[in-house]
Amino acid sequence: MSQTLVTYFSASGVTANAAKILAQAAGADLYEIKPEVPYTRADLNWMEKKSRSTVEMNDPSSRPAINGKVEHMDQYQNIFIGFPIWWYREPSIIDTFLESYDFTGKRIILFATSGGSGLGKTAEGMKKLVPGAKVENGRMFNGKVSEADVKAWVQSLNL
Ligand SMILES: Cc1cc2nc3c(=O)[nH]c(=O)nc-3n(C[C@H](O)[C@H](O)[C@H](O)COP(=O)(O)O)c2cc1C
């Protein structure tokens, strides 16, 4: 069994594609963070003040429910967490995920896709939710994702 897990949330498939390439390159297990209530197109409308994503992202205590669970989280030492950047940070469902397990002593490496924003202070914010873990801003996967490039990156991480 692998000691490395790639987890991801993806509302429209872009992060899912990167996650699959990453899991392959890292020889890691793959787990999709699925919302209990899937996001509709209307939910994702960031121009709309009352859309679900806007309401959730404006409320730091929002914790959208996840459908399912990672079996044997204790077996993993390195956990990649991938997501689309929403309002310059991780979607609230990632906060739900972080609070659902004991990540003490584990290495968490973030990756993301976006329309252009970077990870910014995402790791700093997430660290507050999992104080016992090491949380690192990994990298963005915007544009075409090259398998060779991802492999080289994974190797440089010394997992
Ligand atoms: C609610 C919402 C907020 C977003 N906020 C940002 C943002 O702050 N910066 C940015 O560059 N892209 C933003 N985006 C664009 C997504 O990050 C981008 O389309 C991403 O690749 C989608 O990934 P997915 O297909 O895995 O869901 C936002 C998208 C949504 C739906």
Q: What is the pLDDT of residue 45?
A: 98
pTM of the prediction?
Answer: 0.98
Q: Which of 90, 92, 97, 93 is nearest to 133 (CA)?
A: 97
Is the CB of 103 inside a 6 Å radius of any atom of ligand 1?
Answer: no
Instruction: Identify the pLDDT of residue 127.
Output: 97
Measured from the Cβ of residue 152, the count of other Cβ atoms closer than 10 Å reads 11
Every domain of the chain and the residues it spans: 4-157
Tell me the CATH number for domain 4-157.
3.40.50.360
Q: What is d(CA 156, CA 53) in angstroms, rounded to the nearest whole number? A: 35
CB-ligand 1 contact for 143 (6 Å cutoff): no
Of ligand 1's atoms, which has the minimum distance to the CA of residue 54? 1
Q: Where residue 1 falls among pLDDT bands split at 50, 70, 90?
A: confident
Interval 118-128: pLDDT, tens? 999 999 999 99
Q: Given this model, what pLDDT does residue 2 score?
A: 85
Cα of 94 vs its chain's centroid, Å: 6
* CA distance linking residue 130 with residue 104, whole number of Å: 7
How far, in Å, from the CA of 115 to the mean position of ligand 1?
Answer: 6
